């Protein structure tokens, strides 16, 4: 589950950086060399998929009652404060033209899970 959550955040950062920060993306890409998450053929070849599909892909072939079914919710929420701090530090240190806080705020809207209230 840790791997899936880390992969989610890695791909999300790359995708969020690409669109609104296109002017800085080449520098970002050279610094990070982050992976892409693209679709598998027949219909989704070469399309970048939403990072949340990582959680679905890691459970393909499992049933909801399977002991092997991965539940990412709690691991995801434990990772948020760490990832927020890492994001802010990264941009402050390596890409100061981009506000780490502003960047993080754009990522939050892409989260696949919402806190239970």
Say if residue 40's pLDDT is above 60. Answer: yes
Q: How many CB atoms lie within 10 A of CB 78?
A: 12
Q: Residue 93 and residue 80: Cα distance in Å, rounded?
A: 20
Place of tokens 């072939």: 61
Full-model pTM:
0.82
pLDDT digits (tens, 9 = 90+) for 49-86: 788 888 888 887 666 566 678 889 999 999 999 999 99
């Amino acid at each position: 589950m840790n791997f899936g959550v880390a992969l989610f955040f890695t791909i999300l950062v790359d995708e969020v950086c690409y669109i609104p920060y296109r002017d800085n993306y080449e520098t970002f890409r050279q610094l990070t060399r982050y992976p892409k998450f693209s679709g598998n053929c027949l219909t989704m070849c070469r399309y970048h998929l939403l990072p949340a599909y990582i959680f679905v892909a890691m459970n393909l072939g499992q049933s909801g009652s399977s002991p092997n079914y991965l539940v990412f919710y709690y691991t995801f929420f434990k990772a948020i404060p760490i990832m927020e701090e890492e994001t802010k530090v990264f941009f402050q240190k390596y890409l100061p033209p981009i506000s780490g806080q502003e960047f993080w705020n754009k990522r939050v809207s892409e989260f696949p899970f919402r806190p239970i209230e």
